[in-house]
Amino acid sequence: MSGVCLWCLAPAARTQGVDRSSPAAELVGLEDEEEPADPPENGLPAPELPGDPLMLPPPRPEDRAGDDAGALPKKDASPDTPDPGELDDPPVEDPALSEVRNWLERQPDTEEELSDELSFIDDRLADQSLEDTESWVIPRERFSSRVLTEEFLSFPVRAPLLRQGFRFSLGASVLYDSNLFLEESGEDSDLAALLSPTFEFRSAPEEVRGVVTARYMPLVRRYLDESSLDTIDHSAEIEARFRGAKGEIAATLDFGKFSVADRIVGTRVDRQSYGLVVDALYDISARSFLEAAWQAFSREDDGVGVSDSETYVLNATAFWRASPFLNVGPSIRHVETSSGALGDRSSWALSAVAAYTPDEAFTIQISAGVEQADGTASSGDSAGFTGAVDLSYQPNNRIILEGGLGYAAINQAVVTEFGQVGGGSQRLTGRLSCIYTPSNDWNLDGTVFVSTNPSPSASGVSVNDRTLQLAATRKLPRGSLTCRGTLTNTQFDSVFGAAPASRDSDGYRLAIDYVRVLSGQDVVLNSSLQWSGNSGVSDWKRLQGVLGIEVAF
């Protein structure tokens, strides 16, 4: 299960996050596009993009440096007047619109070609920047994808619903699993029929500066021989975002209940989890603003007594605009954790934060301070240094680099499902990801991260994961082909004198995914083959394959 750096949860100062499509969304040919520039005046009518009054452009540093810096950007009275700084450079048209314009300049040869190309145009235009997080100061966060992290996905997740309304899709597939219970010998294999409906809703009323989206994805499993594993998994997410004259607020609630084969536990478990994240931003004055976030996470595994965990995190940072490019201020963080493996813990941290944004392509935030912790697993309080570095760099439209590194030197461990500082006196944690798009047909994605979680099967033990994920996607005329791989090294550390119950473990996962669009964008053929294995806690190998069709209504 992937981790998210707890020290990186301190809200970034006006960080321009990049919302990229998940690899699953890439599989159906939907990908994020550049924000379209003004088309050249060549006499052709420019296609009209779907409008959304909520998606305002991000504030530029120079916009916030003046007397009106305390308010959100105002709409220019003359939107058609070009920026003087842009008069010397010819406008560059968005690649998606260029393809549409090329289509407008010729006539289709057949009625079938006309239907296919109209579907292409509707899809490319609908995937413009309505959901682009750069339109919001608060970065968009998604947690529902973690629900199925450890299990084999039956269908790719479609791109978010961009227009107000309701969308329904239904998928059916056949799954083969060579090792249902992750056994070292005498593996049990079986075939399963999967039924996967998806319900999506989006509301963006014009009279309210906000948007509410909801998604519910049940998954019905029926096995041929192992009827005891028949189940209905549930995954749901609700997101609400509202903007006022001087601030924003965003909330995301997700829930998951599913059966999963856990490589740390060494068998299948029934898992239930939820997450709630609330982010708020408020402009106090022309040169200061406040960022705050509250997060709650919970996980429970049936039949595994020590795996239950709960985490509550509160962050608040007051920033002062020292310059158009530099924001500084104090930050306070409070964390409450409770787990069957490591007991209860409470901590307070006070840090100084500096965020530097020299241009739109680069942002770095540094924090340093002191944290004091108290826990039931040891006597007395402890205090030590804590710090973090977060950065985001996008030199061009083909490279995106994001990362964060956290450090703590305290005896009390911050141990949560997402949290990140395990047992011992010193701990580093972090995440680094890079996306490279060498051409319109290729996409390369790599991620390295380290996370620490309470052991799901042993008291007083923390699980430290070091993971490398790589993926390469080749876009085809009517689909895509993706190769992906994961390497994980797991170490079990004793906390507060406890002895690790397990030796270190290494895992791997290799997969090939092929998706083909059969009719417009409504019918999708999905196939995938995955080979995984583990050594250490238990030695096992597993082959999985899936073939199915999804229809959108």
Of 198 and 59, more confident: 198
Query: Which neighbouring-strand residues pair with 1?
Result: none
Highest mean pLDDT among 31-40, 301-310, 328-337: 328-337
The structural domains of the chain, ordered by start, are: 6-14+127-552 (2.40.170)
Of 162 and 3, more confident: 162
Query: Which neighbouring-strand residues pair with 194?
Result: 173, 221
Q: What is the rounded distance in angstroms from the CA atom of residue 521 to the CA atom of residue 193? A: 24
DSSP states along 98-152: HHHHHHHTS--SSHHHHHHHHHHHHHHHHTSGGG-GGGSSSPP---GGGGGTTS-
Residue-wise pLDDT tens digits, 232-248:
999 999 999 999 889 99
Burial annotation 90-102 (CB, 10 A radius, 16+ → b, else e):
eeebbebbeebbe
Over residues 524-541, mean pLDDT: 90
DSSP E strands, 286-421? 288-302, 309-321, 326-339, 343-359, 362-375, 381-396, 399-408
Over residues 511-536, mean pLDDT: 90
Residue-wise pLDDT tens digits, 261-300:
777 666 777 888 889 999 999 999 999 999 999 999 888 8
How crowded is residue 185: how many other Cβ atoms within 10 Å of its Cβ? 6
Residue-wise pLDDT tens digits, 337-367:
887 666 777 889 999 999 999 998 999 999 9
Q: Which residue is it, tokens 């997101």?
A: 239
C-alpha 176, offset from chain centre: 28
Q: Are the beta carbons of 312 and 335 closer than 8 angstroms?
A: yes
How crowded is residue 262: how many other Cβ atoms within 10 Å of its Cβ? 19
Among residues 333, 342, 294, 337, which one has the least CA distance to residue 458?
342
Over residues 62-83, mean pLDDT: 41
What local confidence, expressed as pLDDT, does residue 537 receive? 75
The contacts of residue 88 (CB under 8 Å, 6+ apart) are none
Query: Residue 378 carries which DSSP code?
Result: S
Alpha-carbon distance values, 464 to 100, 379, 410, 521 (Å):
49, 24, 17, 42
**pTM of the complete model:** 0.66
Among residues 322, 394, 402, which one has the least CA distance to residue 354?
322
